Amino acid sequence: MKILEGKTALIFGVANNRSIAWGITQAFHEQGAMIGLSYAGEILERRVRPLAESIGCTFVEPCDVSQDEQIQQVAEKAKEAFGEIDILVHSIGFANRDELSGPYYNTSREGFHLAMDISVYSFTALAKAFQPLFRPGGAMVTLTYNGGERVSPNYNVMGVAKAALESSMRYLAYDFGPQEVRVNAISAGPIRTLAAAGVSGFKTMYRKFSEVAPLHQNITPADVGQVAVFLCSDMAAKTTGQVVFVDSGYNIMGITEPIEKILSD
């Protein structure tokens, strides 16, 4: 029995085959969901179309989430194509690269606004645009990172944005409750995606992570996909407003050195 059979999911944030959103798409497809994909711009279209084809997905629409008209347009197209929808996945984040290093206080006003607009407001804007299309029993999921709850050096304005994203997720959970639509966030450990490429110190952090985390394993988009399936399925019917960690248990730790090293000192 496929647990998303009969459900339609719209997924925002596939850039390439390493994207977390693509891991979620594949997991949804395996569980029988009908999929619609959206991509950020023409440069990405050429990456996303073949991926969509590989799972027989024919709904592939552009949507730069900084543009209200594009959000409205993709909602209209979805209404034409599917009528109603059950699932919306928001896997989008962006800040100026130069604001993801150095002291947080160097964040510019413009850079702050940009990170908030693309990484936070876009989820609220999508929720508003798709609100009339949601069937009862539906679910939304967004992607967050522990740097929104604790200090992760260099994550800077993205950390502040993730804190706001998690809070808006809770307000949306409240708003959509009466409509029987659930809203949750997945807090993923570090994954080597396009958004992580070129982040200074990412490689070291990635390695350290698996040394410190209780499960001693790094996270894959497929791991996130499985949890997204659960959260968007009827199995999670009474779970809303939550941040669910997919991080090998990293967030429970109170030390940042590998325990084996400490014990042998």
Q: Catalytic residues, which ones?
A: 145, 155
Greatest alpha-carbon span in the chain:
64
For ligand NAD, which residue of 34, 71, 172, 191 counts as binding (CB under 6 A)? 191
Closer residue to ligand NAD, CB minimum distance, 96 or 179: 96
In one-letter notation, the amino acid at residue 260 is: E
Look at residues 148, 52, 50, 129 and name the one whose alpha carbon lies nearest to residue 90: 129
Enumerate residues 220-259 that contact ligand NAD by CB under 6 A. Answer: none
48: number of CA atoms within 13 Å, CB side? 27
The answer to whether 225 contacts ligand 0WE (rule: CB under 6 A) is no
Enumerate residues 120-159 that contact ligand 0WE by CB under 6 A. Answer: 145, 152, 154-155, 158
| Burial of 234 from C-beta contacts in 10 A (0-12 / 13-18 / 19+) | exposed
- The option from ligand NAD, ligand 0WE, none interacting with 15 (CB < 5 to 8 A, set by class) reads ligand NAD
Task: Identify the bridge partners of residue 38 per DSSP, sorted by sequence position.
Answer: 12, 61
The answer to whether 190 contacts ligand 0WE (rule: CB under 6 A) is yes
The answer to whether 218 contacts ligand 0WE (rule: CB under 6 A) is no
CB 10 within 8 A of CB 52: no
Neighbours of 259 (CB within 10 A): 12
Task: Identify the bridge partners of residue 85 per DSSP, sorted by sequence position.
Answer: 134
Look at residues 169, 201, 28 and name the one whose alpha carbon lies nearest to residue 101: 201
Stretches 125-133, 174-182, 191-199, 256-264: which one binds ligand NAD (CB under 6 A)? 191-199
The answer to whether 114 contacts ligand 0WE (rule: CB under 6 A) is no
Enumerate residues 157-186 that contact ligand 0WE by CB under 6 A. Answer: 158
- Output the six-digit token pair for 49: 């179309």
CB 154 within 8 A of CB 96: no
| Least Cβ distance, residue 230 to ligand 0WE (angstroms) | 21
- The option from ligand NAD, ligand 0WE, none interacting with 40 (CB < 5 to 8 A, set by class) reads ligand NAD
Closer residue to ligand 0WE, CB minimum distance, 97 or 207: 97
What number of chain residues touch ligand NAD (CB under 6 A)? 27
**Three-state SS at 9:** strand
For ligand 0WE, which residue of 32, 97, 216, 253 counts as binding (CB under 6 A)? 97
| Least Cβ distance, residue 186 to ligand 0WE (angstroms) | 12
For ligand NAD, which residue of 28, 36, 71, 93 counts as binding (CB under 6 A)? 93
The answer to whether 168 contacts ligand NAD (rule: CB under 6 A) is no
User: What contacts 136, CB < 8 A, 6 or more positions away?
Assistant: 179, 180, 181
The C-alpha atoms of residue 18 and residue 172 are separated, in whole angstroms, by: 28
Q: Which residues bind ligand NAD (CB under 6 A)?
A: 13-15, 19-21, 40, 44, 63-66, 91-94, 118, 143-145, 188, 190-191, 193-196
